[in-house]
Amino acid sequence: MSEFSLIEETVRETAKRFTERYWIEKDKAAQFPKEFLDEAARLGLTSLLVPAEYNGVNIKVGDYVGLVRLVSSLHGVAAGDLLMAYNTFGAHPLFTLGSNEQKRKFAERLITGEANPCVAVTEPAAGSDTLSVSTVAERSGDGYTIRGRKIWITMSHITRQMILVARTSSPQSGRRSEGLTLFLIDPHEHSGIRTSRIDDIALRALGSCEVFFEDVHVPREAVLGEEGKGWRALTGIFNLERLSTASISLGTAELLLSKAVEHAKTRVVFGRPIGANQAVQFPLAEGKVWLEAAWRLVRDGAEKMDRGEECAFEANGGALLAAKSSNMVADAAMQVFGGMAFAQDTGIELHWRNLRLFRVGPVPEELALSYVAHNILKLPRSF
């Protein structure tokens, strides 16, 4: 058995300990799945993209997205998102952009499961127009003073590894992509950072917050990558994020599909299984085809990334297709389960609710389409 199949085998074992009930209870109580995170760290799932010289598992992106999909197919969105936080937001930017000092400081926490990484991009006024962010980092003394406000930052209340996007200079005319800078900080080390949790309907077990930065002083060494060149760095993070969330949604939709198929085979109404009706079969069959097609695009994108090739089409197209197909499956599952879908304890609505997020974030469907329209079809820009 290869080393990779061994990882897959042990990941499958986690479903015995962390059952559907575990995830339903965590979601209801809006409680962090610390026990699952500890197990994930023990299995190396929090350091999949950490290089071997830093004691990480060090697998290719193509294999990584496969594991994210597998974990999500066993546990759902919150578990997949935890893996994404550690590997896509934690390891990937640290080892592609970080200084040696930053790598030494942050690598160990990824392995032990103490980092809970997050990326703070979205702002109340800027929304998905990232280049309009107004959080500023002004040079002061030996570093910067940061002021501003972010919203919807998942795990920001418990993070020890935050990537913060701020403006270090005003956009010059026609060059809005210049002047953005990424900062890598441990919020516990700085005063002036406050979080306020949002009572939301997706990723409740992990938690998303508003984050306030009030005259936060950070040293010059906190810059991740190059000052003013944050947009370019961010697009690389966005590509992997989109491939990752697509893998989470496809895995979770597989989980829902298998539950719906099982229910369609066993629920008897009018004297026969409801799954004997074509009206019940076809949405499930169509969902299966869409999920497989979306997965091929996502896997292609991940393999391109491994080869160092441009993969923004696959990242945006994959995120779009995965969001659409997983929501199609989630809706079909709600229908197949009938009234029982509305009981929280059947675990259908939890996945349906969580999957709805991916039609809006990390990239709204319309903006994924705009990427293709502007950059692939070369249509006139709409913004």
Ligand X SMILES: Cc1cc2nc3c(=O)[nH]c(=O)nc-3n(C[C@H](O)[C@H](O)[C@H](O)COP(=O)(O)OP(=O)(O)OC[C@H]3O[C@@H](n4cnc5c(N)ncnc54)[C@H](O)[C@@H]3O)c2cc1C
Q: SS3 for 334?
A: helix
Q: Is residue 153 a contact point for ligand X (CB under 6 A)?
A: yes
User: Can residue 381 be called a binding residue for ligand X (CB under 6 A)?
Assistant: no
Asked if 360 is part of the footprint of ligand X (rule: CB under 6 A), the reply reads yes
The answer to whether 325 and 284 have CB atoms below 8 angstroms apart is: no
Which residues contact residue 322 at a Cβ distance below 8 angstroms, ignoring those fewer than 6 apart? 245, 246, 247, 249, 250, 294, 295, 298, 358
128 binds ligand X (CB under 6 A): yes
Contacting residue, 93, 330, 361, 371, with ligand X by CB under 6 A: 361
Residues of span 304-333 touching ligand X by CB under 6 A: none
Using an 8 Å Cβ cutoff, are 322 and 298 in contact? yes
Which residue is nearest to ligand X, using beta carbons? Answer: 127
Q: Does the protein bind ligand X through residue 137 (CB under 6 A)? A: no
Q: Taking CB under 6 A as the rule, does residue 251 contact ligand X?
A: no
Angle at 356 between CA 355 and CA 358, to 5 degrees: 75
Does residue 239 bind ligand X (CB under 6 A)? no
Exactly one of 152, 231, 337, 358 binds ligand X (CB under 6 A); which one? Answer: 152
Distance from the Cα of residue 363 to its chain's centroid: 11
Choose, by CB under 6 A, the member of 41, 59, 110, 118 that binds ligand X. 118
* Interaction residues for ligand X, span 174-213 (CB under 6 A): 200, 202-203, 208
Residue 106 · residue 115 · CB < 8 Å? yes
For 2, 43, 173, 291, 301, the CA distances from 20, given in Å and listed in that order, are 29, 20, 53, 22, 31
For ligand X, give the closer residue by CB, 35 or 366. Answer: 366
- Shortest separation between residue 28's beta carbon and ligand X, angstroms: 16
Greatest alpha-carbon pair distance for the chain in Å reads 78
Nearest distance, CB of residue 186 and ligand X, angstroms: 17
Closest CA to 135 of 116, 157, 163, 173: 163
**What residues pair up with 167 in beta bridges, in sequence order?**
136, 180
Give the binding range for ligand X (CB under 6 A) out of 122-130, 266-274, 299-307, 334-342: 122-130
Given a contact cutoff of 8 angstroms between Cβ atoms, the answer to whether 136 and 151 are in contact is: no
- How big is the site for ligand X, counted in residues (CB under 6 A)? 23
- The footprint of ligand X on residues 330-359 (CB under 6 A) is 357
Q: Is 366 in the site for ligand X (CB under 6 A)?
A: yes
Q: Give me the least distance between CB of 358 and ligand X, in Å please.
A: 10
Residues 69-108: x/- map of binding to ligand X (CB under 6 A)? ----------------------------------------
The residues, any chain, with a CB within 8 Å of residue 251's CB and separated by 6 or more, are 68, 69, 70, 71, 72, 73, 74, 80
| Spatial separation of the C-alpha atoms in residues 161 and 129, rounded to whole Å | 24
Binding site for ligand X (CB under 6 A): 118-122, 127-128, 152-154, 200, 202-203, 208, 357, 360-362, 364, 366-367, 370, 383
